[in-house]
Amino acid sequence: MLYRITGQFKTNYRSDYALFPVRQDMFLLAVILFFAWVVFPLMASEFAFQTLLIPVLIYALAALGLNILTGYAGQLSLGTGAFMGVGAYACYKLVTIFPDLNLMLAIGFSGLFSAAIGLAFGLPSLRIKGFYLAIATLAAQFFLVWLFEKWSWLYNYNASGAIQVPTIDMFGITVSGPTASSMVQYYFVLFIVSVITILAINITRGRIGRMWKAVRDMDIAAELVGINLLRAKLIAFGVSSYIVGVSGALFVFLWRGAAEPNLFDIPLSFRILFIAIIGGLGSILGNFLGAILIIALPVILNIIPEAFGVEVDSSLLEHINIMIIGALIIAVLIIEPHGLARIWAVIREKLIIWPFPH
């Protein structure tokens, strides 16, 4: 009833190919955007900003980058964490070498470094496929983290080998560093994430996206119909690493404030891979749903007992939390192996034909 599409006639191709052929989708998105841009920032506490809103957006962006490579172009990567690291270190070097550089620009540029490294590690993808390619990206992961540890120029010869985010102003407003307000940081992140998401939706819907999907589904067939495999795969590696690099720069500059090399180690790569898989490979929406499940849910579960005045031992709570999240992940994957995005698609389908299922 709420999702009745009867009466929404398409009279030309243009409207049939529109981003939102169904009016309700547009309305729903408008509501979500309204919440993201207006309601949440007005209501959120410092805690909500720092542990829920900002990290969910940043992780969703990283998963989006990975999803383009793995979900759309079918190239499995285990090096996401390291590519985030490239973005973060590049951004750190940029802002320390050029202190007057606009942070938005610095973050944009740092994605280019990550894209370049991604292209280099993407080159073997023409020859090696599947698990073997995953191993090659794993090599990138180990090599890059090792580089972050050993190349002291990267962290400006800091004695403890960590990078610390300096205080940076943009148009008179402090955007990073300890004095930056959480709301400013949230809007900064939200703006970048929104722009990149819109671009990603359009790339994946268009010619390049179809090329990727063809390569993913069967690369020999794709080659036979005239798709240049090397080009398609390299574009995927480049675009994906760019987005991942930007998310890495946001990760350190707009959220963490400091980072040591092992932060970008394998656990981070796996975490983002989980978000992409649980959210749904080959979908944009899935990254956000996955990030909410993996990043925000544990935080919310942690505060529930306290909110109801129940005293639970903190380490016990942590164990329970891990079990609940683990069970949920398994449950989601059993119910719908294609992830949360697919679950939403099924619900939407059902809503459209409700109350007359066939």
- Residues found near another protein in the complex (CB under 8 A): 46-47, 50-51, 55, 149, 156, 158-162, 164-167, 177-179, 256-258, 260, 262-263, 265, 299, 302-303, 307-309, 313-315, 317-319
Compute the least distance from the CB of residue 325 to another protein, in Å. 13
* CB nearer to another protein: pick between 165 and 211: 165
* CB nearer to another protein: pick between 9 and 308: 308
**Token pair for residue 236?**
């995927």
Compute the least distance from the CB of residue 231 to another protein, in Å. 36
* CB nearer to another protein: pick between 15 and 96: 96
Task: Give the C-alpha distances (Å, rounded to integers) separating 276 from 61, 154, 210, 353, 355.
Answer: 10, 30, 20, 29, 33
Task: Give the C-alpha distances (Å, rounded to integers) separating 123 from 119, 229, 232.
Answer: 6, 11, 11
**Token pair for residue 41?**
């920032």
CB atoms within 10 A of CB 20: 12
Compute the least distance from the CB of residue 94 to another protein, in Å. 15
Compute the least distance from the CB of residue 105 to another protein, in Å. 21
User: How many Å is the Cα radius of gyration of the chain?
Assistant: 21
Q: What is d(CA 223, CA 230) in angstroms, rounded to the nearest whole number?
A: 10
* CB nearer to another protein: pick between 83 and 264: 264
Compute the least distance from the CB of residue 250 to another protein, in Å. 15
168 — phi, psi (to 5°)?
-125, 130
Compute the least distance from the CB of residue 318 to another protein, in Å. 4
Please give the helix or strand (H or E) that residue 173 lies within, else none: strand 173-176
* CB nearer to another protein: pick between 58 and 107: 58
Compute the least distance from the CB of residue 106 to another protein, in Å. 17
CB atoms within 10 A of CB 107: 27
* CB nearer to another protein: pick between 218 and 303: 303
Count Cβ neighbours within 10 Å for each residue of 273-293 and write b for 16 or more, e otherwise. bebbbbbbbbbbbbbbbbbbb
CB atoms within 10 A of CB 50: 16
Q: What is d(CA 137, CA 141) in angstroms, rounded to the nearest whole number?
A: 6
Compute the least distance from the CB of residue 88 to another protein, in Å. 14
* CB nearer to another protein: pick between 45 and 202: 45
Q: What is d(CA 285, CA 341) in angstroms, rounded to the nearest whole number?
A: 6
* CB nearer to another protein: pick between 58 and 340: 58
The single-letter DSSP state of residue 171 is T
